[in-house]
């Protein structure tokens, strides 16, 4: 069966929002197909692996809408734009229900009032197109081919305009995009970070060499076009790698960082800082997590994977003492600066592995009342979880950007003395299949 067109019925959707159909007795996952739809798909079979793509929809779902973005079928950054926003919320709610209902009733998902233009961090790769014109955009899914994107409907609008100006300036300053295959060229990526409250804007130019011809004039011209820019940083990445940022940085204008306010605290954001990309829903998520903890100002709180100290500092005024632990030393430096910036004295940050740190606390018989944990997508390893169980906090607030690994970790914790008390999904990333979940656990 090769490039054959057949009619199929969609019988469900997977966790990434792809439609599930049956072909030759096998489950095949088809992008942009909605549960209940009938469609003609083009089927390709290679070495017993079957893939399919939609040719035309014959019977449409009532939930299908026309995507607002003209790049939707090329880009791959948003997987659910063909679903109404109400249907996106239902899809995510049902995904969490399937995973988590065995533990506790799942609260109704907290969605966004306006599910567009929410990203405060915009990353654009720079390249030549087939005509030899400079383009910027995002990599097509599973490739390093840059899809030219002039306007993204989930990114903060001014960032697209700044990136467009940089492309124009590259022509007049004769700066070439970096070519990954040859290692030739200068500008690799443009990163724009925006403070939604402060309105401060950082532009990071990721380049392949420290030699930047006409850099002062380039920056001056950029600032003339965009006086809203508060700092410009040159980041040098001369390695053949898919990692965006290099180690060396030089501030070309401003302070080299921006600040923004989240849940009443001011945070310093540098080029390498991890800061939640949807500040509106981050406040919803963090307020819910803190509400779950029901702190009385007498507790000792541990914030594992504390990053630049967001949760630690936000929770500090409701706790007696807060301990923040983070392995990334740059993030810990930022966290300490952020504590000073906010004049907060009851938070102490440690640059250590959280698992080892908790084992040491347990050995010292240090009492911890509540642990907040917000691990990476891979979740926590068993070493960390066993350390957490050993520490015996009364409450665990587990925030996750990957419910599948979170459910795996809940399985471990419920076998080792904890029960799940509350589960709250939050839509942090509208138009995509990603969903954030916060769980409250108590020691049995």
160 and 223 share a domain? yes
- Same domain membership, residue 304 and residue 437: yes
Distance CA 359, CA 382 (A): 13
Assess if residue 247 is contained within a domain.
Answer: yes
Within this chain, do residues 345 and 409 fall inside the same structural domain, yes or no? Answer: yes
- Residue 41 shares a structural domain with residue 180: no
Could you tell me if 237 and 188 are in contact, meaning their C-beta atoms sit under 8 angstroms apart? yes
Q: What CATH number corresponds to the domain at position 439?
A: 3.40.50.150
* Whether residues 219 and 284 fall in one domain: no
Residue 129's CATH number = 2.40.50.1070
Asked if the structure places residue 231 within a domain, the reply is: yes
Give the C-alpha separation, 64 to 57, whole Å.
10
Same domain, 309 and 369: yes
- Predicted confidence band of residue 49 (pLDDT cuts 50, 70, 90): confident
Total structural domains in the chain? 3
Structural domain includes residue 55: yes
Whole-number pLDDT of residue 4: 85
Q: How far apart are the first and last CA of the chain?
A: 56
Domain coverage including residue 415: 89-114+278-443
215-225 vs 157-172: helix crossing angle, rounded to 10: 140
Find tokens 């599910």 and name the residue.
115
Distance CA(116)–CA(106), nearest Å, equals 26
* Same domain (yes/no): 325, 358: yes
For residue 108, the 8-state DSSP code is: P
Active site residue 78: no
In the prediction, which pLDDT does 117 show? 94
Is the confidence at residue 304, as pLDDT, over 60? yes
Tens digits of per-residue pLDDT, 155-178? Answer: 988 899 999 999 999 999 999 999
CATH code, 22: 2.40.50.140
**pLDDT range class, residue 141, cuts 50, 70, 90:** low
Whether the model clears a pTM of 0.85, i.e. scores above it, the answer is yes
d(CA 18, CA 313): 39
Q: How far is CA 260 from CA 159, 232, 310, in A?
A: 16, 17, 11
- Whether the per-residue pLDDT at 1 is higher than 70: the answer is no
Contact present, 263 and 287 (Cβ < 8 Å): yes
The pLDDT tens digits of the residues spanning 417-440 come to 999 999 999 999 999 999 999 999
- Asked if residue 79 belongs to a domain, the reply is no
427 inside domain = yes
353 shares its domain with 411:
yes
Structural domain contains residue 420: yes
- Choice among 75, 78, 306, 401 that is catalytic: 401
């Amino acid at each position: 069966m090769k490039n054959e067109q057949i009619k199929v019925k969609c019988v469900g959707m997977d966790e990434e929002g792809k439609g599930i159909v049956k072909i030759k007795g096998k489950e095949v996952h088809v992008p942009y197909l909605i549960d209940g739809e009938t469609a003609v798909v083009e089927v390709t079979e290679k070495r017993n692996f079957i893939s399919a793509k939609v040719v035309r929809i014959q019977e449409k779902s009532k939930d299908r809408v026309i995507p607002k973005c003209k790049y939707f079928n090329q880009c791959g950054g948003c997987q659910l734009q063909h679903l109404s926003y109400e249907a996106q919320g239902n899809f995510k709610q049902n995904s969490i229900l399937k995973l988590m209902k065995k533990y506790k009733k799942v609260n109704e998902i907290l969605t966004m009032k306006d599910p567009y233009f929410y990203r405060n961090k915009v990353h654009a790769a720079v390249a030549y197109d087939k005509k030899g014109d400079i383009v910027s955009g995002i990599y097509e899914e599973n490739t390093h081919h840059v899809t030219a994107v002039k306007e993204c409907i989930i990114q903060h609008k001014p960032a697209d305009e700044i990136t467009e100006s940089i492309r124009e300036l590259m022509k007049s300053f004769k700066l070439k995009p970096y070519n990954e295959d040859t290692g030739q060229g200068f500008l690799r990526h443009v990163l724009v970070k925006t403070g939604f409250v402060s309105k401060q804007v950082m532009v990071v130019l990721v380049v392949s060499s420290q030699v930047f011809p006409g850099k002062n004039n380039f920056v001056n011209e950029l600032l003339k076009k965009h006086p809203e820019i508060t700092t410009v940083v040159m980041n040098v990445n001369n390695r053949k790698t898919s990692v965006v940022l290099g180690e060396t940085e030089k501030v070309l204008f401003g302070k080299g960082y921006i600040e923004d306010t989240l849940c009443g605290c001011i945070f310093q954001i540098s080029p390498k800082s991890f800061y939640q990309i949807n500040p509106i829903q981050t406040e919803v998520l963090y307020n819910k997590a803190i509400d779950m903890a029901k702190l009385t100002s007498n507790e000792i709180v541990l914030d594992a994977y504390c990053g630049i100290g967001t949760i630690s500092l936000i929770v500090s005024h409701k706790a007696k003492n807060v301990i923040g632990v983070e392995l990334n030393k740059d993030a810990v430096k930022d966290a300490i600066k952020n504590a000073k910036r906010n004049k907060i004295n009851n938070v102490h940050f440690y640059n250590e592995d959280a698992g080892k740190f908790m084992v040491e606390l347990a050995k010292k018989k240090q009492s911890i009342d509540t642990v907040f944990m917000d691990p990476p997508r891979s979740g926590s390893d068993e070493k960390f979880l066993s350390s957490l169980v050993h520490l015996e906090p009364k409450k665990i607030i587990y925030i996750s950007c990957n419910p599948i690994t979170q459910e795996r970790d809940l399985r471990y914790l419920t076998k080792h003395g904890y029960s799940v008390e509350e589960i709250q999904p939050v839509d942090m990333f509208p138009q995509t299949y990603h969903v954030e979940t916060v769980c409250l656990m108590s020691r049995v």
